[in-house]
A and B are shown apart, each in its own frame.
Chain A
Amino acid sequence: MTRQMTGAEMVIQALIDQGVDTIFGYPGGAVLPIFDELFQQEEVRHILVRHEQGAGHAAEGYARSTGKVGVALATSGPGATNMVTALTDALLDSIPMVCITGQVPTTLIGTDAFQEADTVGITRPCTKHNWLVRRIEDLPAILHEAFRIATTGRPGPVLVDIPKNIQFQMGTYDNCKDKALTQYHPAVKGSDAAIREAVELMAAAKKPILYTGGGVINSGPKAVALLRDLVKMTGFPITSTLMGLGAYPASGKNWLGMLGMHGTYEANLAMHDCDVMVCIGARFDDRITGRIDAFSPKSKKIHIDIDPSSINKNVVVDLPIVGDVGSVLEDIIAAWNARKPVQDKAAHAAWWKQIDGWRAKKCLAYRPSAEAIMPQYAIERLHALTAGRDTYITTEVGQHQMWAAQYFGFEEPNRFMTSGGLGTMGYGLPAAIGTQLAHPGALVIDIAGDASIQMNIQELSTAVQHNAPVKAFILNNQYMGMVRQWQQLLHGNRLSHSYVDSQPDFVRLAEAYGAVGIRCSKPADLDDAIEEMIRIDRPVLFDCHVVSLANCFPMIPSGKAHNEMLLGTDVSDEEIETAIGAAGKVLV
C-alpha cells in the first residue's frame, strides 16, 4: 500500500515497518524534521544519549544482545563524525546496524555549508554500504535496503545520509520491505561436495579441534544449537574466540576455554598440535594465530564462513566452505548421520589425555591475596554471585576485558558484548545501556577499567534519564593496565603516560549524575558490596580497587608461536621483560 508523506515521516514509517522499537540518537539542525516526527508518534522509542558515539555503541549493544538490528540517529557534520568510531567498531565485529544521519540541503552540498561534512565519503570505508539520498523517490527503497544489507550475509553497519530538504519533501511511501534494491544476495548454503569432504576429514581425525567464533552468534540460535549438537555427535574439543564466547557453554565438558593471545594453555596447545581444525565463523585474526608460519603447522584446516574474503586471508586453509554457519552445520550433521563414521576411539582418548595434561597446568591460576583484591578474584566473585540470574556482560578494553573473558564463564550466546576487532575503549557503558533497554528486567554489568570508563562516562546520564539500571564494575588499578603491561614487556618498564593521574572520585561522580556509587578495596568486603550493587535498581558505578600491577596471563607474546606462552604463576619479571624479541616489538 502506498501513501503520501514527507521524507521525515518515511523514516519513521520504515522503522515501524521494519519492526524497530528503539533507536538511539541525538538531535541537531539537519535532523529536526525527523525528531519532529518522532515526537508525534509512540511506536518508536528514542533514547537520547549524551554523545553520538554513545548512540552507536548503544545500538551495537542492543543488536548483539538481541540478534536484531541496532538503529542510531545523528545530525550532519559533527553528529556524523562522532559516529565514525561506532560504525568502524560495528564493521570490524560484524554487528548489524543502521545509522541515519541528516545532511545539509541538496542545494547547499559542496558549498562548505554550516555543519556540512562529506558523510558518505567519510564513512565509506567504515560501513558495509552507505547512501546519500538525492531524491525523495529513492528514499523508501533505500531505507528498506539499508536494513536488508545490514542484516544479511556478513552483518555490518550501513548509513543513510538524508539532506534536510528531502526530509521536508512530500513523496510516495511504499513498504518495500521484501524487495531488493541492489543485487546483493550472499550465498547461504555450502557446497555439497565440500561438506562431504569435511565429514570425511572430521571422521578420520585423530586430534581434532573446533575453533569457533563470532559468526556462530551472528548466524543465530539455530547455529548455536547445531554447534552444541556437533560437539555431542563428534566428541571433539572446542575452543572459541573472544567474539564467540557463550555459543558453547563454559561449563560444557568439551570446553577448552578461549584461545589466542590471552587464551588458555590447553586451547592454544590443542590448536598447535591438532591434525584437523574446523574453523566455524571465525576469521584467523592475528590475536589468534600469533606467528603465522608457526600456526598449527600439522593440521588440515576446514573453514566455514559466509564471507569469501575471510577465506585464505590470513591463513591458507585446505577446505573452505562458503555459507551460513547454521545452514552448513545442518548439512554437516545430516551428512555425518548418513555416513555413520567409525571414529578412532583410541586416538581420541589419547588426544583427550594430552589435553588433560595441558589442563593440569591450571593456566588461569593466580597468586591470591588476603589484603588486596586481585582483579581475577573480583571477576570470579562477580560470576559466582550473578550465576542463576539473567545476566548480560559488556566490557571496555584492556586487561579487565581479558579477565572478563577468562574468568566469567559464559553459558549462553548474546550475553557477552565486547569490542573485539577495533578494541574501542568507551564501548562498554553505552553498549550496556543498549543491552539494558532491550532486556529491561535483566542484570547488565559493564566490566570496566578506570581509564576506559572515562571515555564515555557521560552516558551515565543517559542511563539515569532512561531508568536503565546498568552497573559499571570498574577494576580500578590506577593504570591503563594493558598499556602498562606492554610497556613492561617491550619498553624496559618505562611507564610512559600509562598512569591515570587525578582520577575522579567515582563514588561522588556517580552521585553527581544521580546514580549510586559503591567503593570496595578489601577482599573480605567484596561479596557484600557486589550483592549490594545487584540489589540496587538504579545505575551504579562500582569502584573496585584492585592491585595495581597485576598482569594478564596467559599471554602469547607478539611474534611468538602458540607453544611459546607465558603463564602467570611461574613467570618472573625478568622473563616478562625479555619475552618479546626485536621482530615482535613492531607488532601490535
Chain B
Amino acid sequence: MMIVAGQSQSAYFLEEELPSTERSHTLSVLVDNEPGVLARVVGLFSGRGYNIESLTVSEIEHSSHMSRITIVTTGRPPVISQIMHQLGRLVPVHKVVNLTWAGDALERELALVKVSGRGEIRDEALRLAQAFNARIVDATLDSYVFEITGAPADIDRFVGLMKDCGLVELARTGLAALARGKAGI
C-alpha cells in the first residue's frame, strides 16, 4: 500500500486484503526537509496514541530538500492504514510506503558496541564479533568497540551475547529500509 499526496485512492485500493494480526510495520515516509517536519510526525504519533519503536531521519536529496523518515510501529492493519492516512495528510509529506506490506524489505541498522574485560571474556568477545562480521573500530588493552551492521534481529542477538562479554554501552542508529527490486518509491 502506498499513499501519494494528491492522488485519488480508489475503493479497491483502500480495501486491499490484509493479514489481520498485530505486528510491526516499517513505514517509509518522504517529506520536505523543512523545520518542524519531524515534530509534526512525532506529534502525530504521540497525539493519536500510536507507538514508535524506531525512527530515523536524514536528508536524501539535497537539491530538492527531501528527507526520508523510516518509522517502525506496531498495530493491526486498520490502525496501520489509519496511521498511513494521517501521515499522508501532513502538508510536507509526499509519500508514505508500507515496506512490510510491500513484502520482504531490506532492513539494516548499524550499532556500536563497547565491551571491556581481560582474558577469557575478551577472547570470547572477539570470536563472537568475527562470527557476526562485526568490525573492531577501537581497541585498548581492556576494551573493544565493535561496529556491526545487519538486520535489527541480528544486532539484538549480538548485543544479547555481548551482555555476557562485558558490555559497557551501546549506540544504535535505528532502521534504514528499502524495498527490493528495481523500483523506487
Residues of A within 8 A of B (CB): 120-121, 124-125, 128-129, 132, 134, 149, 182-187, 189-191, 193-194, 197, 307-309, 311-313, 316, 319-323
- In the assembled complex, which residues on chain B have CB atoms less than 8 Å from the CB atom of A132? 35-36
- Determine whether the beta carbon of A129 is less than 8 Å from that of B91: yes
Q: Is the CB of A312 within 8 A of B78?
A: yes
Does B3 lie at the interface of the complex (its beta carbon under 8 Å from any beta carbon of A)? yes
Instruction: Let me know if A322 and B8 touch, CB within 8 A.
Output: yes
Residues of B within 8 A of A320 (CB): 9, 11, 14-15
From B9, B15, B39, contact of A124 by CB (8 A): B39
Q: Is the CB of B11 within 8 A of A316?
A: no
7 chain-A/chain-B pairs, Cβ below 8 angstroms = A194-B12, A308-B89, A309-B85, A309-B86, A312-B14, A319-B11, A323-B8
Which of B3, B8, B40, B89 is A189 in contact with, Cβ under 8 Å?
A: B8
- For A185, list chain B residues within 8 Å (CB): 5-6
A193 and B11 contact, Cβ closer than 8 Å, known pairs A307-B89, A309-B82, A309-B86: yes
Report A-chain residues with C-beta under 8 Å of the C-beta of B88: 308-309
Cβ contacts under 8 Å, A120 to chain B: 36
State which of B9, B36, B90, B94 has its C-beta within 8 Å of the C-beta of A308. Answer: B9
Give Cα A287 to B8, complex, Å: 29
The reply to whether the CB of B43 lies closer than 8 angstroms to some CB of chain A is: yes
Inter-chain contact A308/B14, CB cutoff 8 Å: yes
The residue in A120, A134, A149, A320 that gathers the most chain B C-beta atoms within 10 A of its C-beta is: A320
Least CB distance from A124 to B in Å reads 6
Nearest to B15 among chain A residues (CB) is: A320
CA distance A312 to B85 in the complex (A): 10
Bound together, the chains give a CA A547 to CA B25 distance in angstroms of 57
**C-beta contact mask, B1-38 vs A, less than 8 Å → 1, else 0?**
00101111111101100000000000000001001100
What is the distance, in angstroms, from B42's C-beta to the closest C-beta of chain A?
A: 10
User: Is B92 located at the chain interface by the 8 A CB criterion?
Assistant: yes
Known: A149-B91, A316-B78. A184 touches B6 (CB 8 A): yes
User: Is the Cβ of A182 less than 8 Å from the Cβ of B47?
Assistant: no
Q: With A and B bound together, what is the CA distance between A132 and B9 in angstroms? A: 32
- Asked whether A125 lies within 8 Å of B47 as measured between CB atoms, the reply is yes
Do B78 and A184 have beta carbons less than 8 Å apart? no
Nearest chain B residue, comparing its CB with the CB of A321: B11
CA distance in complex: A187, B86 (Å): 15
CB of B96, distance to nearest CB on chain A (Å): 11
Bound complex: CA A184 to CA B5 (Å)? 7
Give chain B's interface residues, CB within 8 Å of chain A: 3, 5-12, 14-15, 32, 35-36, 39-40, 43, 47, 78, 81-82, 85-86, 88-92, 94
**A-side contacts of B12, CB under 8 Å:** 191, 193-194
Q: Are A191 and B10 closer than 8 Å at their CB atoms?
A: yes
Chain B residues near A323 (CB-CB < 8 A): 8
Q: CA of A186 to CA of B7 in the docked complex: distance in angstroms?
A: 7
A192 to chain B, nearest CB (A): 9
Q: A120-B36, A124-B39, A183-B5 are known contacts. Are A193 and B82 too (CB-CB below 8 A)?
A: no
> How long is the Cα–Cα vector from A215 to B32 in the complex, in angstroms?
29
A-B contact sample (12 more), CB < 8 A, given A191-B12, A320-B14, A320-B15: A124-B43, A125-B43, A125-B47, A132-B36, A185-B6, A191-B11, A307-B89, A308-B9, A308-B85, A311-B85, A321-B11, A323-B8
A233 → chain B, closest Cβ, in Å? Answer: 22
> Complex formed: what's the CA distance from A396 to B8 in Å?
37
Of all chain B residues, the one with the shortest Cβ separation from A188 is B8
CB of A197 to closest CB in B, whole Å? 7
A544 to chain B minimum Cβ distance, whole angstroms, is 40
**A193 with B10, Cβ < 8 A, contacts A128-B91, A182-B92, A308-B85 known:** yes
Cα distance A183–B30 in the bound complex, in angstroms = 12
- Cα separation A187 to B6 with both chains bound (whole Å): 5
Residue of A nearest to B10 (CB): A191
Chain A residues with CB below 8 A from B32, complex form? 182-183
Tell me the complex Cα distance, A289–B36, Å. Answer: 36
A120 to B7, CA, bound (A): 28
Taking a contact as CB atoms under 8 Å apart, the answer to whether B10 and A194 are in contact is: yes
Given A129-B91, A309-B89, A311-B14: A186 and B6 interface contact (C-beta under 8 Å): yes
The 8 Å CB contact of B82, one of A183, A187, A312, A322, is: A312
Contact A124 B40 (CB under 8 A): yes
Instruction: With A191-B11, A308-B9 as known contacts, state yes or no: A183 contacts B86, CB within 8 Å.
Output: no
A-B pairs, 7 with minimum CB distance:
A191-B10, A185-B6, A309-B85, A187-B8, A194-B11, A129-B91, A308-B85
> How far, in whole Å, are A121 and B7 apart by their CA atoms in the complex?
29
The distance from the CB of B134 to the nearest CB of chain A, in whole angstroms, is: 40
CB-CB under 8 A from A125, the residues of chain B are 43, 47
A183 touches B6 (CB 8 A): yes
Q: Which of A124, A307, A309 has the most CB of B within 10 A?
A: A309
> In the complex, what residues of B have CB within 8 A of residue A194's CB?
10-12
Collect the chain A residues with CB atoms within 8 Å of residue B5's CB: 183-185
Q: How far is the CB of A162 from chain B (nearest CB, A)?
A: 15
Give Cα distance in the complex from A321 to B12, angstroms: 10
Q: Are B78 and A308 in contact (CB under 8 A)?
A: no
Please report the C-alpha to C-alpha distance between residue A374 and residue B32 in the assembled complex, in whole angstroms: 57
Q: Is the CB of B9 within 8 A of A183?
A: no
Nearest-CB residue, chain A, relative to B88: A308
Whole-angstrom distance from the CB of A458 to the nearest CB of chain B? 31
B8 / chain A contacts, CB cutoff of 8 Å: 187, 189-191, 322-323
Which residues from A are CB-within-8-Å of B40? Answer: 124
A128 to B40 CA separation, bound complex (whole angstroms): 11
CA distance A189 to B10 in the complex (A): 10
Q: Which residue of A lies closest to B12 (CB)?
A: A193
